[in-house]
Amino acid sequence: MIQIIPAIDIIDGKCVRLSQGDYSQKKTYFENPLEVAKMFEDAGLKRLHLVDLDGAKNKKITNAKVLENIASKTKLTIDFGGGVQSEEDIRLAFDCGAAQVTGGSVAVKKPEMFDKWLSQYGGDRIILGADARNEKIAVSGWEEDSGVWVYEFIENWLKKGIKYTISTDVAKDGLLQGPSFDLYKKIQDQFPELNIIASGGVSSMKDLEELAEMNIYGVIVGKAIYEGRISLNEISKRFL
């Protein structure tokens, strides 16, 4: 069964969403992220994708207190990303209650450090962030294109022990126009052993059904829930 993973993105301690990673296209949905996390937990969801957007921009964890608050006051299994770019950051993330940490920019820009994290914490706790624009890896809160092909990038880290990847098609994110099924199919065909978590563009239950039929490991849902396109009740009935 596909894992349905709701998303909370944080700017200034508040729950927001961006469109295509553009900080100027910000919409605030809730002042208190903990309330949102509890709403997900109450609906029966077990996991949470928590992103520190300030951290992604600042290149260091900025909203650790939000992570700590949610981790200590819910039972959600949290994967955390955004600004985790140093030894201090990754220790802070795990100390504050993250079950898993997602690294994208660091895997491109500081591969030796990311490799060390994989050795230290293992492939179950470190998720590879493989966010792509035109099939090339985008980094630093998607503000930079790395020029690295997503497939080469994944292959390199798969050899080093990665088991999970979150892949967002930046062109789709926050637009509610459907996920990048083609991208996920290509990744899946090349790396059948990889646990792929799809992210970006989910707009309806039909999208979730289609990803489930593809046997994708998981899918992150954010804006579609906040905009009322998909209800937590529907998710509970179909997928939990």
Compute the distance between CA of residue 119 and CA of residue 85 in angstroms, rounded to an integer.
16
Tell me the two tokens of residue 201: 């563009």
Give the active site residues.
9, 131
Q: How far apart are CA 223 and CA 198, in angstroms?
A: 14
| pLDDT tens digits along 75-114 | 999 999 999 999 999 999 999 999 999 998 899 989 999 9
Residue type, 36: V
Residue 121 pLDDT: 98
- Which tens digits make up the pLDDT trace of 157-200? 999 999 999 998 887 777 788 999 999 999 999 999 999 999 98
CA distances from 225 to 50, 68, 83, 94, 221 (A): 15, 23, 25, 27, 7
Contacts of 157 (CB under 8 A, 6+ apart): 107, 114, 118, 128, 165
What are 196-226's pLDDT values in tens digits?
999 989 999 999 999 999 999 999 999 999 9
Pairing of strands 218-221, 126-129: unpaired
Q: Mean pLDDT score of the chain, rounded to an integer? A: 94
Residues in CB range of 94: below 8 A, 6 or more apart: 101, 121, 125
Are 4 and 27 spatial neighbours (Cβ–Cβ below 8 Å)? no
Q: What is the mean pLDDT of residues 43-65?
A: 96
Indicate the class that CATH gives domain 3-239. Answer: alpha beta
76: CB partners within 8 A, 6+ apart? 37, 40, 41, 45, 46, 47, 48, 70
DSSP 50: E
Q: Does pLDDT of 143 surpass 70?
A: no
HEC per residue, 96-107: CCCCEEEECHHH
Give the model's pLDDT for residue 76: 98
Q: What is the spatial distance between Cα 237 and Cα 240, in angstroms, rounded to a whole number?
A: 6
